[in-house]
Structure 1
Amino acid sequence: MLDYLRTRTVYLAEPVIYTGPIPNNVASTKIDQNYHYGRDTDVFGTAFNTRRLADALEAIGDIDRAGLYISYRLYWSLGSLKPLPTGFSVASETKAAIGLQLGDDVTRLVPLIATSSTEVRLHLVRFLAAFLRGLRAQKVSGVSLAHLRDVIHAFDLAEFASLLDPLQPFEGSWLRWLNEPEDRYLYKQLSDGDSYLVFHEGEAQESALQLYRLRLGDDVLTIEKAYVPRVRRPGYFRPASYDFYSRPIDTYSTILFFDRPLQADDNAEHLYEYFINNHPEYKKVYFALNPKSEDWDRLLAKNFKLVPIFTPEFYEKFLISDLVVSSQIYNIRYKGKSFANSRFVYLQHGVQLNDMTDWVLSKYFDIFVATGQIEADYLSKFAPVETLNSGLPRMESLARADHTDQHLLFLPTWRFNLHQSSTEHFTQSSYFRSIDAILSDASLLNFLERTGRTLHVKLHPNVEKRASHFRFSDRVVKSELSYREAISSAEMVFTDYSSAVIDAAFIGTPIAYYQWDSVDFFNDQPYEGRLDFRKDGLGPVFQEHSEMVNHIVNEHYTQLDDQYAHRRARFFKGVDPARINSTIIERMLSL
């Protein structure tokens, strides 16, 4: 960029940015705080004059590149710039999810040049939140606590702390503490003891629920979690708003279940079906789904009480519900109600095979369902009250289903860094090429043809729109089966890193891992590895294409291996296959 700017002055338009579809009439877009907060923090917008940019870089040399846009505007007092009547859409909030990783030489986020510009201040609060999110992962920064407080006070960022709460509540509490330190900050209301975040400047006493120990310059910051009885909550006896826990769950309660908006057949569907069949006394139990989903008619035929998801009817049901149960966590807020102040049971979609601590701590839940003792022990380190070691509802359905070996199954997962890739970039990625090479391997195709087998491939939902680029054939097919059907009828299942194979291992189906990019896989993911697949995986691990193919064509997967049987028993310890649903229901009705 600097080379390009060296001989010219370049004016970069500041476009309107959306996180969803672009409206038909972009020019009529209302510019408000929520819109501005949705912008990225990187280099774009305003007018970059070559000489002025050089002056700014020289004056603010300890600022990270990610803050260059904001710093330039501050340095040259470009407080407000009206966006142009055009726009583009982004598919995901990458920096909000993984945060910023600043260089070791960075000691300031931005220069402290006061501005009254709402636009710049909203950029700043987003930038600060991304820094704090990244710091939770990085653990060390050259930026001091004093500088963070100076930024918050100089630009009066505490005014915008509430904008962080929907997607970055942890950072919202952190910002409030930096602005005005208090003993603790209410994070999530619970039935008995509410969950609080506690910040300690300097070395703190060892705590069983210490979440983070961070170093910022010469400062040490410890963040802990505490459970406090609800009666000690400020304003408990004279609440300023309705207490969504005040009404107990009973047979008159409204209870709302859902999986993905366009796809059911996950843990919420399986638990819902068990619940309505075994607890008919509950009359107001609903399942939310998009009417355009292929599952809509199927669930109607099973007597599900369906409500169109994310519609006015859905939000009204949410408002009056005493309990929400889902395999997904969505930012649902309506008329003062959210998962921060109401009951929510998180059934999970996957399994916590990786270190998802930072992600989990950014979410609200009353119950977090675990799939065995290993996962429960991990979750209990930072959510001991909320963790329930019951197993997943869909696993009970699998255990009850008839198993007929009909095909092999490949379940590749997704790569976070491909979210906004063009089709050309996607087809040139090692992800696409490695998967496609398996699907079109000549020796594998010959084996399938010779033995009358078929390889089913369940692509990740993020890949579905590009499925046509893969080389499917008569023997290698893009599976249209549900996950439950595909797994229950599989002779063998393999993946790269997907936790979906855990379901297959639960019912004793052989599994394997093909990890062609194990060296750098976690570099671009919003989490770190937690389990060693070679030491703790429930099947063999292969890094080379030829190894994976040989394992299949030589039918090595049919040979029983005691070490994997032992690992399975240890992984699923504490889970009764016949009582998964009843265990969850007993706990959730007691909230």
Structure 2
Amino acid sequence: MTDTRPVLLTVVIESDGPVDRESETYRRIVGARLRYETLFDVALVDGPLTTARVAELCARLGSTYVVFVRESHQIPAAFLPTLLDYLRKRTVYLAEPTVYTGPVPRDVGATRLDDRYHYARDTDVYGVAFHTRRLADLVEAAGDVERSALYLAYRLYWSIAKVTPLAVGYSYASDTKAVIGVGAGPGTARLVPLIPTASRELRLYVLRYLVLFLRGLRSRGECGVGLDHLRDLIRELDLIGLVGAAVREPLESSWIRWIDDPSTTRYLYKRLTGRDAYLEFALDGAPQAEVPLYRVRLGDETVSIGKSYRPGDDRPGHDDPAVYDFYSRPVGLSSTILFFDRPGQADDNAEHLYEYFTAHHPEYTKAYFALARKSPDWDRLERKGFRLVPIFTPEFYELFLVSDLVVSSQIYNLQYRGKTLANSRFVYLQHGVQLNDMTDWVISKHFDVFVATGEMEASYLRTVAPVETLNSGLPRLESLARVPSEHRYLLFMPTWRFNLHQLSTESFKQSDYYRSIDALFTDRVLLDHLERTDRYLHVKLHPNVEKRSSTFHFSDRIRPTDVSYRDAIASAEMVFTDYSSAVIDAAFIGTPIAYYQWDAEGFFREQPYESRLDYSTEGLGPVFYDHADVVDHVVGGRYAVPDDEMARRKERFFEGVDPSRINATVVERMLSL
């Protein structure tokens, strides 16, 4: 007798193009058919999943439940079996996994489901098994909300106050949304239905979504959602009572407070030496702030956001003895000063500045360098006499608490016993160079000093941080200029593409990224040139592609290298890349550079940022778009011919930087804070 019962679950797989049937996510879904073939179906959606497409799917699916999975996301082998075993034993409105943006841990059950988890949880529709009929009812009632808000709308509409996740994980495999936010398409007039709830969990989810909406609005500039709706949402769900959870989003936190109470227009943003930085909000027609940041349109109203600097004595409660002032003691000989680069890797600006500082200012006896104890750099720095402390340990945080200054090439959300980077001194040395428009990111960070590499970059930074910008150059550049070099090889440093993260090996090999790079490695003209001139092409792969290294056709003359960026650049006679800012280091020491941008037409459409540099007119080396042209440039040796235009561009790019006083300039500024 044929089983005519309806299928329990439909798995909808969303992909940007034809589904990658060799991807781990797809194989794990179809692999579950060995045990559960009669319980679930698979449906493929080519292109973005919208609210309208969700409505169309719900109308035609015959399954009791539906779960949406994006091809680029990650699921463990137990994901579908866990969902199916749970759903076939009961009838529920929804069932959801424990959600992550990084790797799914082995012990999902050990994840603490606290405020931190709930605020950080991505609340898009993916990974959650919805009751198909109930989801259809929700879309019919609230079809004007964005797909990314459907999960929130579903829980509000059906008054689902609390959900205990299943003991299985689901990973979005990326936290890009935290950088670019979420958008609201044409015709969207509200974020979620205004249905009150006392659920702290759900209110935290809505707060996070509002923060991401405002973050996306900063770059998009306008939206049909009006201020009245946002104000009603904040008040209906009492989000002001939770806004402290958004401490990592200080601009959006202040924005939410202003929307709730527009009578207060100025919000303390960052303590500085002698004065403070404030955010100022105003409707159109109100006085403009000292430093304009954004002008966005919400419905029929335009909001201006700016920055101003005011004396520290103007700050409410500045003389309150119950609040410790981390600026009360000037940087001096008894000060604790904390330096660090990445947790697992040094050899960046903080290391080079620390080495200079301790050599030239030995009178400062409490300078520490923080690093992971298991880092391969630990023993090397220990031999050099660095005063090391294991990073992010209790010892590290106690040093942070008593320190008068933190100096780093990275920005982390340091918080300990009331001390943060918002109320204490921090010198940001940068890791790269701001070749792309990172304005939104820069504005959202706290620093007393932001080190720039030349007047071009400094002018860009001063538009949002005029007081904090220091045009000194990066400390590692001064060190790099002193490294002896024999110019032994050519160096290629390709960067990464965000849309390649979860591809199977076979699909990766079909990508333009792989084909363009591998075609270079197997080019007979290039290989013959390297053999004939006894040269080598060393390839410094991006960390995200190192695991794919074996897919490329390397040879005796074209080899991957695992030496440090500094040593690789210092020993190269020519360096080329696609878009990496790392080649700027080579240009600084006079090494010829070039760009091979085979995907220039669509590259920035796939990235969470846009270029602010016109490589063809402002780049420090020639730009090539075709394989044959870049090979000809290398084989013909044209990179070795002096180029007056590139010399002029380099001079403009590094204007204002004294190569012999980079470290000294930074130290003078940091000791004056």
> What TM-score, normalized to structure 1?
0.96
- Does residue 1:477 correspond to 2:559, yes or no? yes
Match for residue 192 of structure 1?
A: 274
Of 107, 112, 116, which residue of structure 1 is paired with 2:198? 116
Is 1:501 equivalent to 2:583 in the alignment? Answer: yes
Q: Deviation of residue 520 (structure 1)?
A: 1.8
2:260 aligned to which of 168, 179, 190: 179
Structure 2: 5+ residue runs without aligned partners? Answer: 1-11, 13-53, 68-94
| Deviation, structure 1 residue 515 | 1.2
Report the secondary structure of 2:185's partner residue.
Answer: coil
- Show the 5 A alignment for 1:235-254: 235-254=317-336
The correspondence of residues 418-567 of structure 1 with structure 2, limited to 5 A, is: 418-419=500-501, 421=503, 423=505, 425-567=507-649
Cα distance 1:424–1:366, how it changes in 2: closer, same or farther (>3 A)? farther
> Does the CA-based 8 Å contact 1:187-1:340 persist in structure 2?
yes
Taking the TM superposition and a 5 Å limit, the aligned residue runs for 1:296-307 are: 296-307=378-389
Cα distance 1:450–1:102, how it changes in 2: closer, same or farther (>3 A)? Answer: farther
Shift of 1:433: 3.0
1:339 maps onto 2:401 in alignment? no
Q: What letter matches 1:57 in structure 2?
A: V
Q: Which moved more, 1:319-328 or 1:453-462?
A: 453-462
What residue number does 2:246 align with?
A: 164
CA 1:54–1:72 in 2, change beyond 3 Å: closer, same or farther?
A: same
* SS of 2:369 mapped into structure 1: strand
> Is the Cα contact below 8 Å between 1:514 and 1:543 reproduced in 2?
yes
State the match for 2:221 in structure 1.
139
174 and 87 in structure 1: CA distance in 2 versus 1, 3 angstrom threshold: same
* 1:29 aligns to 2:111 (yes or no): yes
The equivalent of 2:141 in structure 1 is 59
Partner Cα separation in structure 1 for residue 273 and residue 208 of structure 2 = 32
1:513, CA displacement in angstroms? 0.8
Against the structure 1 CA distance between its residues 77 and 423, is the aligned structure 2 distance closer, same or farther, given a 3 Å change threshold?
A: farther
CA distance in 2, matches of 1:46, 1:555: 57
- 1:227-247, Cα deviation, whole Å (9 max, x unpaired): 111111111011543211111
Alignment map for 1:92-111 (pairs within 5 Å): 92-111=174-193
| Inter-CA distance 316–429: structure 2 relative to 1 (3 Å threshold) | farther
Alpha-carbon separation, structure 1, partners of 2:358 and 2:326: 24
TM-aligned CA distance change 1:517 to 1:101, over 3 Å: farther
In structure 1, the residue matched to 2:63 is 8
- Deviation, 1:224, is 0.4
Residue 213 of structure 1, aligned match among 288, 291, 295: 295
- Alpha-carbon distance in 1 for matches of 2:195, 2:128: 17
Change (3 A) 1:361 1:275: same
The amino acid across from 1:520 in the alignment is G
Distance 2:538 2:343 in 1: 24
Tell me: CA distance 1:272–1:421, structure 2 relative to 1, closer, same or farther (3 Å). Answer: farther
Mapped to 1, the partners of 2:187 and 2:268 lie a distance apart of 34
Determine if contact 1:14/1:44 at 8 Å carries over to the other structure: no
2:189 corresponds to which letter in structure 1? Answer: T
Cα 1:417/1:154, change in 2 over 3 Å:
farther
Structure-2 change in CA distance of 1:589 and 1:124 (3 Å): same
Deviation at 1:323, TM superposition (A): 0.7
Deviation at 1:20, TM superposition (A): 4.8
Residue equivalent to 1:149: 231
Q: Distance in 2 between matches of 1:497 and 1:203?
A: 42
| SS across alignment from 2:293 | strand
* Distance (whole Å) between structure 2 residues aligned to residue 359 and residue 471 of structure 1: 38
Change (3 A) 1:436 1:45: closer
2:466 — aligned with what? 384
Q: 57-66 vs 353-362, which deviates more?
A: 57-66
Once residues 45 and 190 of structure 1 are traced to their aligned partners in structure 2, the CA distance between those partners, rounded to angstroms, is 44
In 1: Cα distance, 2:610 partner to 2:182 partner: 15
Offset from partner CA, 1:210-258 (integer Å, 9 cap, x none):
0001111111000000111111111101154321111111111111111
**Paired residues for 1:355-374 under 5 Å:** 355-374=437-456
CA distance in 2: counterparts of 1:426 and 1:124, whole angstroms = 37
Instruction: Give TM-score, length-normalised by structure 2.
Output: 0.85
1:413 aligns with 2:495: yes
Deviation at 1:297, TM superposition (A): 1.4
Alpha-carbon distance, 1:425 to partner: 4.8
User: Which has the larger Rg?
Assistant: 2
SS at match of 1:187: strand
Whether 1:85 aligns to 2:140 is no
Q: Is the 8 A contact 1:17 1:38 kept in 2?
A: no
Give the distance between the partners of 2:437 and 2:390, measured in 1 at CA. 34
Partner of 1:498, secondary structure, is coil
Tell me: CA distance 1:410–1:46, structure 2 relative to 1, closer, same or farther (3 Å): closer
Q: Is the partner of 1:307 in helix, strand or coil?
A: strand
- Tell me the SS of whatever aligns to 2:601: coil
Deviates more, 1:432-441 or 1:101-110: 432-441
The answer to whether the 8 A contact 1:107-1:143 is kept is yes
Amino acid aligned to 1:458: K
CA distance in 2, matches of 1:281, 1:419: 48
Query: Any idea what the Cα deviations from partners look like across 1:446-497, whole Å, max 9, x if unmatched?
Result: 2212211111111222223333333222211111221111111111111111
Q: Tell me the distance in 2 between the aligned counterparts of 1:239 and 1:63.
A: 48
- Structure 2 matches for 1:223-234, cutoff 5 A? 223-234=305-316
The residue identity in structure 1 corresponding to 2:148 is A
Could you tell me which of 284, 291, 298 is aligned with 2:373?
Answer: 291
Which amino acid in 2 is paired with 1:244? F
Cα distance in structure 2, aligned partners of 1:382 and 1:435? 37
Q: Distance in 1 between matches of 2:501 and 2:325?
A: 39
Shift of 1:51: 3.3
What is the identity, as a one-letter code, of the residue corresponding to 1:10?
Y
Structure 2 CA distance for aligned equivalents of residues 459 and 247 of structure 1: 45
- The Cα of 1:580 is off from its aligned counterpart by 0.4
Distance 1:28 1:508 in 2: 53
| Percent of pairs with identical residues | 62
- Tell me how far 1:78 sits from its aligned partner: 2.3
Contact 2:96 2:129 in 1 (8 A): no
1:270-317 superposed Cα distances (whole Å, 9 cap, x missing partner): 111111110010111111111222211111111111111111111111
Match of 2:664 in 1: 582
The Cα of 1:161 is off from its aligned counterpart by 1.3
Shift of 1:22: 4.5
CA RMSD of aligned residues (A): 1.8
Aligned positions of 1:263-278 closer than 5 A = 263-278=345-360
Give the distance between the partners of 1:148 and 1:86, measured in 2 at CA.
34
Structure 1, 347-356 or 442-451: larger mean CA deviation? 442-451
Is the 1:19–1:38 contact (alpha carbons within 8 Å) kept by the matching residues of 2?
no
Distance 1:210 1:239, change over 3 A: farther
Alpha-carbon offset, residue 30 of structure 1: 2.9
Aligned to 2:325, the other structure's residue is in SS state coil
Counterparts in 2 of 1:419 and 1:219: CA distance versus 1, 3 Å: farther
Q: Does 1:400 align with 2:400?
A: no
SS of aligned partner of 1:297:
helix
